[in-house]
Copies of this chain bind each other. A is one copy, B any other.
């Protein structure tokens, strides 16, 4: 069989499951999630055995040893995955919610209700916990899913999905509600992106390269996630003590994640005062600074930022610094280089804050807070599928509702037009 035939067969089965899942009750879905959690714990030894073999193989063969930690499972991590399934069961069911209801002059009653997408395709990198997480969120939202994880964890992920599927089916979920793609060739990603009408949406979760490949090849609608070139702008009217604290934290608290700051923008009126202070504390925390010409005049030891630096997501202890003449120039710089993820202004000037929030074109625009809060749990959604950096369908942290669409139900008594 060709890769595309294997995938088409899997997606066809998922689609058949999805068409049945539109009618599942909340009770059945929740019972399945609890049963899946119990099954993970019950089969812990089996899972750990497969995982240990895969970890050994990875240690001996992979050139990507920095990914090792993501691959390793242990009893605590299995308990965490099981508890994640239970927490998903406790979230409100997004399906069936009615947000529009009118009776037209001709007597037609038109309602709009939340319904599942159908089949959700998720493409991600190695982590086994994403397998469990994605399966749980798709099931809770009434969707079948087709999952494509990285090759390093392929055996662990296969085992996990077998256990989850068995428990789900025993609880009344249709077979093939969780399809896992075992083909590890990169071509499988492209083949998956061609399965129009079988897969309703594809969500890539991973680095910029993976996302670009999916966007390039997909004829299935895509929700892009993740890449974050986030800015913190310290306005002339900022509380500088607060600004120093927020900017430092936005950079150093977890530099590897998408919502951490990559560029600090400073108003020229306060730059001479503020820059040496923030630069000193950044450097003390191991941050390499890269500045524009104006920064170098104030801090001559700073490295010069290149044209590419302004658009780079470092995911590391590196920070660009830019001095601007005005709020407007700050907004212009940010709209030119951001990834429409998260940007923040530090200011005590309400008019400046409002202008910044109106004109900066990002999913999340902060006033006097760190960009690091862009996260489904921090927003109170109780779950996160990812952070959308596109404007279509979902923007910013995606909770369960992002995995749903809507449907118009129209009731008449013989109306014609």
- A residues with a Cβ closer than 8 A to B are 19-20, 22-23, 102, 104, 108, 110, 117-118, 196, 200-201, 215-216, 219, 221-223, 239, 242, 245-246, 249-250, 253, 335, 353, 355, 357-359, 361-370, 372-374, 378-380, 390-393, 395-396, 405-417
Contacts and interface: CB of A to CB of B under 8 A. Distances in A.
24 contacts: A104-B380, A110-B379, A118-B391, A201-B392, A215-B219, A216-B219, A242-B413, A249-B416, A249-B417, A362-B407, A365-B407, A365-B410, A367-B409, A367-B410, A369-B411, A369-B412, A369-B415, A369-B416, A370-B415, A391-B405, A392-B392, A392-B405, A395-B405, A396-B408
Contacts of A196: 215
A358 B408 contact: no
- Looking at A20, A249, A364, A414, the one whose CB has the most chain B CB atoms below 10 A away is A414
Q: How many copies does the complex hold?
A: 2
Contact of A253 (B245, B357, B413, B417): B417
B369 A108 contact: yes
Contact of A221 (B364, B390, B410): B390
A392 B393 contact: yes
A55 B330 CA distance: 50
Contacts of A201: 391-392
A391 B221 contact: yes
A412 B363 contact: no
B408 A200 contact: no
A15 B126 CA distance: 37
Contacts of A410: 364-367, 369, 373
9 closest A-B pairs by CB: A369-B412, A249-B416, A391-B405, A221-B392, A393-B393, A242-B414, A372-B417, A369-B415, A364-B408
State the majority secondary structure of interface residues on A.
mixed
Nearest to A369: B412
A104 B378 contact: yes
- Looking at A118, A361, A366, the one whose CB has the most chain B CB atoms below 10 A away is A361
Contact of A391 (B117, B357, B380): B117
Contacts of A249: 416-417
Given A366-B412, A416-B250, A416-B372, A22 B361 contact: yes
A242 B117 CA distance: 33
B378 A417 contact: yes
A411 B219 contact: no
Contacts of A215: 196, 219
Contacts of A23: 355, 358-359
- Looking at A196, A242, A355, A405, the one whose CB has the most chain B CB atoms below 10 A away is A405
A219 B224 CA distance: 11
A210 to B, nearest CB: 14
Contacts of A219: 215-216
A223 B392 contact: yes
Given A20-B359, A196-B215, 4 more contacts: A22-B361, A221-B392, A364-B407, A367-B409
Contacts of A353: 411
A414 B246 contact: yes
Given A363-B408, A392-B393, A108 B373 contact: yes
A142 B317 CA distance: 39
A367 B411 contact: yes
A246 B416 contact: yes
B409 A365 contact: yes
A19 B20 CA distance: 44
A366 B417 CA distance: 14
A22 B250 contact: no
